Chain A
Amino acid sequence: MKKYLLYGFLIISGLITLAPFIWMVSASFMHDGHASVYPPRFFPDEFTFEQYIALFSRLNITRNFLNSLFISVIVTGISLIFNSMAGYAFAKYRFKGKNKLFNLLLSSMIIPAQVTMLPLFLMLKEFGFINTYMALIIPGLANIFGIFLIRQYALSIPDSLIESARLDGATDFQIYYKIIMPLALPILVTLAIFTFMGTWNDFLWPLIALNDSSMYTLPVALANLMGEHTKDPELMMAGSVLTILPVLIVFLVLQKYYIKGIMMGSVKG
């Protein structure tokens, strides 16, 4: 009895969680005006790609899609290298000021990113980077959470492995990329997903740093489109599907790593 009650509750909660997505997908395949009906439809009455075609041909969303993809991939790639090197150093080396530096980094995680945005904008404007890809790549080069995550994982790699490699004459850098990197692969995948999704989904900073619609990332382009198409749910739903789809696919394929990362991130350092 208790079991069926539990299942019933879980299934209803699941349906409530999914309902917005189902409606979104269904509306995105409708003709103009067909989603503004009562009662709401969970299936298109007449299936059409017209909204997607409008997005790609008339509204030039391909460019925005590629902007988002390019920036997310670059930021993920570079920050993975920077964060893994720093995380490894914090886990396996002794150097002056190590604990102080690490504690400074950890405690500065409560500083909201918004605090940095005004000076960052001015700084990047001086460099001529505003409204370029650089404006979005530079603030993402390294991040404290990533360093912390790698460090936690690298701590569990036995010192003996490193020591024996050193006796065999391996240099510090060889040890890093031939021994540590392959062993840390699971956490690197986790961090890659976090970074990719974080960059893809980011809104406030791209909104500030980009002012040309051809430079917009997908979320900014979508928000901009919303301003002109408040009465076109079908078109907006197609845009939302396109924005969500890549991150959802990444998540579905690699969910094991993602969920493990959240659990690790919550462990006290």
Chain B
Amino acid sequence: MKFFNKENSSAAYMFLAPAMISIFIFFFIPVIAAFIISFTDFDVYALSSYGYLRFVGFRNYIQLMNEPLFWTALKNTFYFVIFAGPLSVCVSLAAAIMLNSKLIKYKGIFRLVYFMPVVTTLVAVAIVWRFIYHPRFGLLNYALGFVGIHPIDWLGDPNWAMPAIVLMSVWKNFGYNMIIFIAGLQNIPEYLYEAAILEGANSWQQFKNITVPMLAPTTLFISIITMIGYFQLFAEPYIMTQGGPLNKTLSIVQYMYQEGFRWWNMGYSASIAFVLFFIIFIGTLIQLKVQKSSEEV
């Protein structure tokens, strides 16, 4: 402990300065500025001269609540999070459990293959999937033809566009959480399973009574990061559907982007960003609460 003297703390500040200064200027100040902007009428006129800027109180937020398109975007985003989130987590867990099995060799190769979509550029794979979803020539309808399913106009049918985006997102992302689950599974002590087998527990009982509770912290972490990421849905619909058909895939971030950077309604757009932040914040709190109360039971 001797070397932690006063002199050293000035060295610490030196090491911290570059990162802290850039994070404060280019992250924290913008967050605060966005909050302030959301209470102004910042628009294309203010962009040319700040003299036109006025405080308008909660007007942007009130306008937002009365805007049907905002509710559409909100509903679509929730639809996406509620379906793609749990589905991603389940597929990841299933893949992790299979890959963690002692019966399996060549784990590295399978892991590599499942992980490939994660590292690839979202814009590029969204373009690939746009053609995979082609109603006549697409791979998916071709594959579904073998099990007798008639061609679906995935991205053109208002009822199928969002499920198509969900499917693509699960494909793109499951490898990431799979890796975290594998790490979690490897931390479960082997003797728990051995004891369970001695007592005659079958695979399902082992899964339910050992794997699931022991993985709870991992699952919580994964659920939270998946939810935070999925609420920020943007590139997939932007590339594949442009928010259509009939605004059925318009997401909150796309709505924010359009209002802010296409129509330059920056005050209004900032209020959308804060509603998104608020939702993510509440969503995280709920997950932490649910986890805590289930631990107490």
Contact = CB atoms under 8 A, between A and B. Distances in A.
B12 A93 contact: yes
Contacts of B9: 93-96
A240 B125 contact: yes
Nearest to A247: B119
A90 B20 CA distance: 12
B161 interface: no
B125 A244 contact: yes
Given A204-B234, A207-B257, A247-B120, 7 more contacts: A38-B136, A82-B18, A82-B19, A86-B15, A116-B31, A251-B116, A262-B180
28 contacts: A6-B101, A7-B104, A14-B113, A18-B113, A23-B131, A27-B131, A40-B142, A86-B18, A94-B9, A95-B12, A110-B284, A112-B232, A114-B232, A114-B273, A115-B273, A115-B274, A118-B266, A119-B29, A119-B270, A120-B30, A172-B15, A201-B122, A219-B122, A219-B123, A223-B127, A247-B120, A262-B180, A263-B183
B137 A37 contact: yes
B163 to A, nearest CB: 17
Contacts of A38: 136-137, 142
Nearest to A240: B124
A24 interface: yes
Given A3-B103, A112-B231, A263-B179, A201 B276 contact: no
Contact of B11 (A2, A17, A37, A172): A172
B228 interface: yes
Contacts of B104: 3, 6-7, 10
Contacts of A81: 18
A111 B238 CA distance: 22
B19 A203 contact: no
Contacts, number: 269
B119 A251 contact: yes
Contacts of A247: 119-121
Contact of B3 (A27, A162, A203, A208): A162
Contacts of B47: 122
Contact of B121 (A14, A207, A219, A258): A219
A10 B110 contact: yes
A47 B194 CA distance: 56
A144 interface: yes
B33 interface: yes
A168 B115 CA distance: 46
A192 interface: no
Interface stretch (A49-57, A135-143, A182-190): A135-143
B26 A141 contact: yes
Contact of A119 (B11, B19, B37, B139): B37
B26 A139 contact: yes
Interface in A213-269: 218-220, 222-223, 226, 233, 236-237, 239-240, 243-244, 247-248, 250-252, 255, 258-259, 262-263, 266, 268
Nearest to A262: B179
Nearest to A19: B139
Interface string A26-46: 010000000111111000000
Given A6-B101, A118-B270, A166-B3, A14 B137 contact: no
Interface string A103-123: 001001011111111111111
A211 B36 CA distance: 26
Interface in A173-210: 173, 176, 197, 200-201, 203-204, 207-208
**Mostly helix, strand, loop or mixed at chain B's interface?**
helix
Interface in B1-43: 2-4, 8-9, 11-16, 18-20, 22-23, 26-31, 33-34, 37
B239 A266 contact: no
Interface residues of B, number: 90
Interface residues of A, number: 97
Nearest to A171: B11
A138 B27 CA distance: 10
Contacts of A118: 30, 33-34, 37, 260, 266, 269-270, 273
B238 to A, nearest CB: 7
Contact of A85 (B19, B130, B132, B235): B19
Interface in A145-174: 147, 162-163, 166, 172-173
B138 interface: yes
B12 A89 contact: yes
Among A18, A27, A38: residue with most chain B CB under 10 A: A38
Given A13-B114, A144-B23, A223-B238, A115 B137 contact: no
Contacts of B12: 89, 93-95, 98
A88 interface: yes
Given A115-B277, A118-B273, A120-B26, A244 B11 contact: no
Nearest to A241: B124
Contacts of B266: 118, 122
A172 B129 CA distance: 52
Residue among A6, A112, A176, A255 with most chain B CB within 10 A: A112
Given A118-B37, A237-B128, A89 B16 contact: yes
A-B pairs with the 6 shortest C-beta distances? A93-B12, A119-B33, A86-B19, A116-B30, A172-B11, A142-B19
